[in-house]
Homo-oligomer: A and B are copies of this chain.
Amino acid sequence: MTPQAHRTGNAPPTGRRRGTALEQAIFEAVVQQLEAVGYAGLTMEGVAAAAHTGKAALYRRWPGKAELVVDTLDRLLPSPEDLPDRGNVRDELIELLRQKAAVLNSRVGRAVQSLLAETERDLPFVRLVQERVFEPRLNVFRVILERGGRRGEIRPEPISPLVADLGPAMLVQRFLGDSSPIPDDFLVAIVDQLILPLIKR
């Protein structure tokens, strides 16, 4: 049933790695295994083999696979960044979607696709993945709208909260339907053809 564990393709290390160096190799192996066999197919043995280490080194640090994956994701997923004021709403929205697309386009982003399947299983990484990868950043969107309002760029009337969901929803759907990276002009088109017409003065 379980496919053969995939090797990283890297040669085994010369000499022993200790502490954080070993942990980095393990995290890298987790990502590689998530990509190759998904969360369900990921095994401690497979991660250990891909990291060229022993299971005991894994179990010394993590009680099981879910905790290992949580720690890996927490370490490797980018934290949300503040968005600099770029002087106009369009550029800020494009930047916001670029940040999201960059996460989705990353190896880690692609690796977490398999975690979508686990959403109902009360595993500790579910919330983390939703927040860091898939959910819209409503607070940043709100800041962009406030700045745009101050600059007189957007309509004075209230804007539907659904507009904040729109861009990320389109990116996620693209992500799920097509495994090639999300092109930049796609997200620019989302801003220009969908979001701006809904909010611009």
Interface residues of A (CB under 8 A from B): 1, 38-41, 43, 113-120, 130, 134-135, 160, 162-163, 165-166, 168-170, 172-173, 176-177, 179, 189-190, 193-194, 197-198
Q: Tell me, in angstroms, the Cα distance from A172 to B130 when the chains sit together.
A: 14
Q: A40-B40, A117-B116, A172-B173 are in contact. Are A194 and B189 (CB under 8 A)?
A: no
Q: Tell me, in angstroms, the Cα distance from A163 to B170 when the chains sit together.
A: 10
Partner of A120, one of B39, B40, B163, B179: B179
Q: Tell me, in angstroms, the Cα distance from A192 to B65 when the chains sit together.
A: 45
Number of copies: 2
Q: Tell me, in angstroms, the Cα distance from A163 to B198 when the chains sit together.
A: 12
B40 touches A194 (CB 8 A): no
Q: A40-B41, A40-B117 are in contact. Are A165 and B160 (CB under 8 A)?
A: no
A160 touches B193 (CB 8 A): yes
15 more contacts with CB within 8 A, not counting A117-B117, A163-B194, are A1-B43, A40-B41, A114-B117, A116-B116, A119-B176, A119-B179, A120-B179, A134-B173, A160-B193, A160-B194, A162-B170, A162-B190, A165-B170, A166-B166, A166-B194
Q: Tell me, in angstroms, the Cα distance from A43 to B118 when the chains sit together.
A: 17
List B contacts of A39 (CB < 8 A): 40, 117
Interchain nearest-CB distance for A34 vs B (Å): 10
